[in-house]
């Protein structure tokens, strides 16, 4: 099938590349000419495991192409995916200007039937708004052309997006148009061979499903984080509690890990956007208000623990950080707990020595004027002369380090573990003071 994807950000690039991988003829559009030129050369502007090789492979095969020409994009694809950004406004609502611009461009340029698919995370009712603006453009042109609009929200985890797309848990299609449903059924057939993963529903339910999924996951995280603080006060171990409640099949083990808060481009934005949608409809989502408040507080927990150990004034102290991205296998630092911690440490006079396998360039961009932030070239070099080590992101490479070497490099054998990566008894047996989240 001929597919057009508008937007070559995280969602658009993964969507276009994976659809090309199974044999479709895909053209991706972006208004950023520099990004398009980079992609044409087989380079990608984000870090995502396996994506760069897949881009290069499909570009070389001629199945994946890139353009900055909207007319060419509209002419190419029978199916037009809108996968542009919807950044949060100051009031928490999603900024829809790029979605609407994409829809208008399709309406201005389409010459025959097009299936327009909202892939971006968008507020409930966006399918109706897209349909309206496309019709407006067709009326301006004085033409009548048949088209369909559907919702097909993405459920991609950063760091595992390629695998998520190629082996989806579910494929949500929101449409009341049988023609649109059948085209999408054909498109996703290669991803459905083992069993039918398509879930067909109306567009508004599909749009709400995306927000509800992320809100539920964020809720589980904040619940466990709040419970971890209680566990510390009660002398209980949150890891034991996690295993105890996770063994109940009604609860399960996923997203029950206590830590130093969630971040990224999805959970914070979508929790705020869903609250804003509820407010516009005279509904107060009190649970989500609490989820957000707990997460904001949790991002300050590591600094609180550091100050409890070393004092509120950290002047003259050097704190080593392992992990800067909001999660492993990405360089994304949007809403990352590391940013709150770094800012807090610097404000209290500390020197920060930090390392991350892939997020160093992004860290340098965000903190380029901070002389007290040192970026190390390896985990062990970040420890040289540091007063303590803080684990902020649970990269696999941090799971089984040489603790003897860590102890030799640190001034004080102190570890603050914001992701509960280590067994407290073992670490203390190695001679460390160990401060985790809700652990004994």
Catalytic residue numbers?
266
Q: What is residue 2's DSSP assignment?
A: E
> What distance in Å separates the CA atoms of residue 206 and residue 177, rounded to the nearest whole number?
14
All residues at 6 or more sequence positions from 106 whose CB lies less than 8 Å from its CB, including other chains? 74, 80, 114, 116, 134, 137
**Short-list 21, 435, 15, CA closest to 232:** 435
Cα distances from 110 to residues 105, 119, 175, 233, in angstroms, run 8, 19, 20, 63
Tokens (6 digits) for 378: 């390896």
Question: Beta strand pairing status for 64-67 and 25-29?
Answer: parallel
Cα distances from 326 to residues 271, 305, 322, 333, 397, in angstroms, run 17, 20, 12, 5, 16
Q: Where are the beta strands (DSSP E) in 269-372?
A: 318-322, 351-355
All residues at 6 or more sequence positions from 233 whose CB lies less than 8 Å from its CB, including other chains? none
Which residues make beta-bridge pairs with 118? 82, 151
Q: Could you give phi then psi for residue 86, rounded to 5 degrees? A: -130, 70
**Short-list 115, 173, 122, 156, CA closest to 14:** 156
> What distance in Å separates the CA atoms of residue 207 and residue 223, rounded to the nearest whole number?
25
Helix, strand or coil for residue 149? strand
């Amino acid at each position: 099938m001929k597919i057009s994807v508008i937007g070559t950000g995280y969602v658009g690039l993964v969507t276009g590349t994976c659809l090309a991988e199974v044999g479709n003829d895909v053209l991706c559009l972006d208004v950023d000419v520099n990004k398009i030129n980079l992609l044409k050369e087989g380079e990608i502007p984000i870090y995502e495991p396996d994506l760069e090789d897949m881009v290069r492979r499909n570009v070389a095969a001629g199945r994946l192409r890139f353009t900055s020409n909207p007319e060419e994009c509209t002419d190419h694809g029978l199916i037009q995916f809108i996968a542009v950004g919807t950044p949060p406004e100051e009031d928490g609502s999603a900024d829809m200007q790029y979605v609407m611009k994409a829809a208008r461009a399709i309406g201005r340029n389409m010459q025959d039937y097009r299936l327009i698919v909202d892939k971006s995370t968008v507020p409930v009712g966006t399918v109706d708004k897209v349909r309206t603006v496309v019709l407006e453009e067709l009326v301006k042109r004085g033409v009548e052309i048949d088209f369909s609009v559907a919702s097909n929200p993405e459920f991609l985890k950063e760091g595992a997006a390629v695998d998520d797309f190629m082996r989806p848990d579910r494929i949500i299609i929101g449409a009341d148009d049988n023609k649109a449903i059948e085209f999408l059924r054909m498109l996703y057939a290669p991803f459905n061979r083992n069993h039918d993963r398509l879930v067909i529903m109306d567009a508004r339910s599909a749009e709400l499903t995306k927000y509800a999924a992320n809100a539920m996951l964020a809720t589980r995280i904040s619940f466990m984080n709040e419970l971890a603080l209680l566990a510390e006060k009660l002398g209980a171990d949150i890891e034991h509690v996690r295993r105890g409640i996770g063994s109940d099949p009604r609860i399960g083990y996923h997203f029950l890990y206590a830590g130093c808060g969630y971040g990224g481009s999805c959970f914070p934005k979508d929790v705020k956007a869903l609250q804003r949608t509820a407010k516009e409809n005279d509904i107060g989502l009190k649970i989500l208000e609490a989820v957000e408040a707990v997460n904001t507080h949790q991002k300050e927990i590591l600094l609180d623990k550091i100050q409890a150990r070393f004092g509120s004034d950290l002047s003259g102290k050097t704190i080593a950080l392992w992990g800067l991205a909001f999660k492993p296998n990405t360089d994304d630092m949007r809403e990352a707990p590391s940013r709150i911690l770094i800012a807090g440490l610097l404000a209290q006079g500390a020197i920060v020595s930090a390392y991350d396998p892939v997020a160093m360039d992004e860290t340098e961009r965000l903190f380029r004027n901070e002389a007290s932030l040192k970026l190390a070239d390896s985990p062990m070099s970040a420890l040289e002369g540091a007063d303590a080590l803080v684990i902020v992101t649970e990269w696999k490479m941090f799971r089984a380090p040489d603790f003897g070497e860590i102890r030799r490099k640190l001034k004080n054998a102190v570890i603050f573990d914001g992701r509960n990566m280590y067994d407290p008894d073992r670490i203390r047996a190695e001679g460390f003071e160990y401060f985790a989240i809700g652990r004994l």
